[in-house]
Structure formats: C-alpha cells, structure tokens
Amino acid sequence: MSSELYTPLPLRSGQVLRNRIAKAAMEENMAVDGQLPGKDLLTLYRQWAAGGAGLLITGNVMVHAEALTGPAGVVLDEAAPLEPFTEWAEAGRSGGGAIWMQINHPGRQVGSDMPGVVWGPSDVGVDLGRHSGRFGRPSAMTAEQIAATVDRFAVTAHRAEKAGFDGVEIHAAHGYLLSQFLSPLVNQRTDRWGGSLENRARMLLDTVRAVRGAVSPSFAVAVKLNSADFQRGGFDADDARQVIEMLAPLGVDLVELSGGSYESPAMSGRAADSRTQAREAYFLDLAEDLVRTSPVPLMLTGGITRRETAEKVLASGVAVVGMGTALAVTPDLPDRWRRGHEAESRLRPVTWSDKSLASAAGMALVRHQLRRIARGSRPTPGTHPAVALIADQRRQRRALRRYRAWLSEARSTAVL
C-alpha cells in the first residue's frame, strides 16, 4: 500500500507538515468561564497530538466576542488573556505535529437566543423551514462594520502567533460570514461587496491580506472554502475555482475544501446531491475537478474514515486528508493506519428524515465523544443521537447563562 500519507508536505510559508493527515476543525463548544480554552480542551488536544496526525486544526475560535456560533465558543480578541491559548498551543504541539487555529465569524448563523449581534452581507435570514426561528434575523453590515471585522480577523491571527500556534485557518465555508459574502443567494448587496464574484470575494481577500500582514512570513495562513453550497443558484465549483486562483497571490499555504451550510448540511453527509459520495469523501468528485487547476495545495475534508479512502484522496492530487468525526471516535487513527490497522468502530449514523434536526443531532453526537475523550474516558460511538442532543441542549443552556453574564460584564468594562 502506498506510503504517501506519511510523506512530509512543505508549504509556501516554509513550514513542513510531517505527514498528510490533518485533524479537521470540529466545533467543540467547550470554553470555560471567560470564553477561554480550559483543561478539557488541553486534554483533548494532547490526545490528538499523540495520535499521529501531522496537523491539528482547532474548532473555530471567534474573532468577535458579540458574535458566537454557540454560547460555549472560544473567543480570542484583543482583550482575551493569552496564557490559556499558549497552553492550548503547547498541548497541540506536544506530539510533534503542527497546530493551526481556525478563526471565524458566524455572521447570520447566530442563535436567536444569543445576545450580541447578528450580521450578514444582507438582511436575508437562514431558511430552515419550520426550524428557521433557531437563528436571529440579520442586519446588513455597514462598510464600517465590514472593515472592523476584517481588522478583528487580523488581531486574532496576530495573537494566535504570539500564543505559539503554527498558523491560522480562515473559515470561509459552511455558511459562516465570509461564506455568506461569497454566496449570491445570501449576498444581495449592490455596492462594492456585492454582485460579481470579484465583489463578493472582496471581504475574504481583504481578510487574507490583513491576516498575512499581521503575522510573520513563516506563520501559515490557510482558508477553508466550500467546494459548493449545494443550493440551486448558490456558490458552486466554478466559483470555488476562481476564488482559489484569487487567493494564490496572497500567500495562502493551503485551501481546505468542504461544502454546505446549515441550510444544506453537506458537511455532515446530508445534502441530496449526486456529486457527494454516500459514505466517505463526500466532496472528492468536486475536489478532483478543482485540483487540476489549483495553484494552491488542497486539503479535503468530509466523511473519510478508512485508509483506503484517504489513499484514494491523495491519489487524486489532493495534498492533505482532513478527518473530523473519525478522530472523535478514534483519536489515534493516524497511528493505527501506520501500523496497518483500522478503526474498531464508527459513530452511529443519524438517519432522521428532518435534515436540520439530524445535522444538529450529529454535531451533538460528535461533541459527546469529544467530552468523553477530554475526561479521559473512551468514546461511546453507539450513543443514541436523541440522548446526545438532549444532553447537549441542556449543556448549551447552562453555557448561555454564563455567556450572557460574561458579555454583560465585558460591555460594562468597555464602557467604563
């Protein structure tokens, strides 16, 4: 069997990944008081660091304290203490691999029960049918808010480097803010940020430039991009090809390809699209098209659980294989593959017909495994999704009370 999985990958910044396997970002929602990483996150990342992956990418870290994907999200802004992040970076590097921080702004994908702001390129809300009330109604961002948000990404990246991380990944996929600007369905602006793809990509490109200017040349900068949104009239593979070409001159080391959003959750294998494979490597067909013209190394994430599939992905020309759920169940899977073994179990599939509810349950199942690993327990991949979802919702309610209190105090301090 090919050993390409375990060959080093040199990057544009000068960094060298020790192998081609990456732990992709999963939304841990495990922040402690102050929206900071705590001991559970450190334990979790030490486990992954010891598992043999060449790269760990954190769950998304918020650049704006008033815009979180969930109430237990980690925030790294100009006011956050750096020491907890330094400890997180050390935990992630403890096995000899690299750790990158995924940095993100949710835009309109903010819960309706959350304090803070709900912003978007336009005032177009998330359409989940009868579940649409889960998200707040967005207001269209002003030019000043766009500029301030670009600056926030740069501040977070600069502070991530100071804390000891090896790089950042700018999240421009899964329907979050930068992805919203790219989407012709969500972005209905008529100014310099709307209309043509060049205009819709402007905020992403400005963010990449600002981040690259705020960090050293040896610090890696990556972008997570949808290969497609899987919505009629939305961001498609040809758009992705053009955006990758726009990113290439800006010093981007790697582009991670995924797909979907809350409205069409292809990242969890739920999109009804013939171009996604039913079980593994959901976006491989799209990636094979994009890799032929990409001037930037590509990483593919989405449903990969077996070494045979990972080898197939690399054979297509993709440079890095990203895994999320598989490493939530088997954190040492890269080392197992090296020894010729596979995972002993897989996460229980969620087969509910309601794709929005199924996606939420799937994420709750993953977080259930992450919390068990963080406590030093074995994952329980057979947990019923309803049990995981109910427990997750209870935990989110407690976290929401803490976040409300913290944000209120932070606002008072800022005013004073």
Question: What pLDDT score was predicted for residue 355?
Answer: 82
**CA angle 110-115-116, nearest 5°?**
75
Q: Identify the residue with better confidence: 302 or 20.
A: 20
Query: What are 310's two structure tokens?
Result: 């990972």
pLDDT in tens, 207-230: 999 999 999 999 999 999 987 655
- Can you say whether the dihedral through the CA atoms of 345, 350, 355, 361 is positive or negative? negative
First-to-last C-alpha distance (Å) of the chain: 63
Report helix angle 284-291 to 307-315, nearest 10.
30
> Which band of pLDDT confidence, cut at 50, 70 and 90, is reported for residue 412?
confident
CATH topology of domain 4-415: TIM Barrel (3.20.20)
Query: What are 361's two structure tokens?
Result: 């349950």
In 275-351, which residue ranges form alpha helices assigned H by DSSP?
284-291, 307-315, 325-329, 333-338
> Which band of pLDDT confidence, cut at 50, 70 and 90, is reported for residue 262?
low
Mean pLDDT of 108-122: 96
pLDDT exceeding 70 applies to what percent of the chain? Answer: 91
Mean pLDDT of 259-265: 57
* Look-up of token digits 């803490």: 402
- Secondary structure E strands in 306-396: 320-323
> Which band of pLDDT confidence, cut at 50, 70 and 90, is reported for residue 268?
very low
**152, amino acid identity:** R
Can you tell me the distance from the alpha carbon of 255 to that of 267, in angstroms, rounded to the nearest whole number?
16
pLDDT for residue 275 is more than 50: no
Query: What are 64's two structure tokens?
Result: 């704006």
Distances (CA, A) of 231 to 86, 148, 269, 274, 359: 40, 30, 14, 13, 16
Average pLDDT, the chain: 91
pLDDT in tens, 342-399: 998 899 999 999 888 898 999 999 999 999 999 999 999 999 999 999 999 999 999 9
Q: Which residues have C-beta within 8 Å of that of residue 61, sequence separation ≥ 6?
A: 73, 74, 75, 76, 101, 102, 103, 104, 156, 160
DSSP category for residue 178:
H
Question: What pLDDT score was predicted for residue 101?
Answer: 98
**123, amino acid identity:** D
Can you tell me the distance from the alpha carbon of 36 to that of 400, in angstroms, rounded to the nearest whole number?
14
**149, amino acid identity:** T
Query: What are 375's two structure tokens?
Result: 């406590």
Can you tell me the distance from the alpha carbon of 373 to that of 334, in angstroms, rounded to the nearest whole number?
17
Contact 141, 202 (CB under 8 A): no
Domain ranges for the chain, please list them: 4-415
Can you tell me the distance from the alpha carbon of 224 to that of 170, in angstroms, rounded to the nearest whole number?
6
Distances (CA, A) of 415 to 40, 81, 152, 355: 32, 19, 19, 43
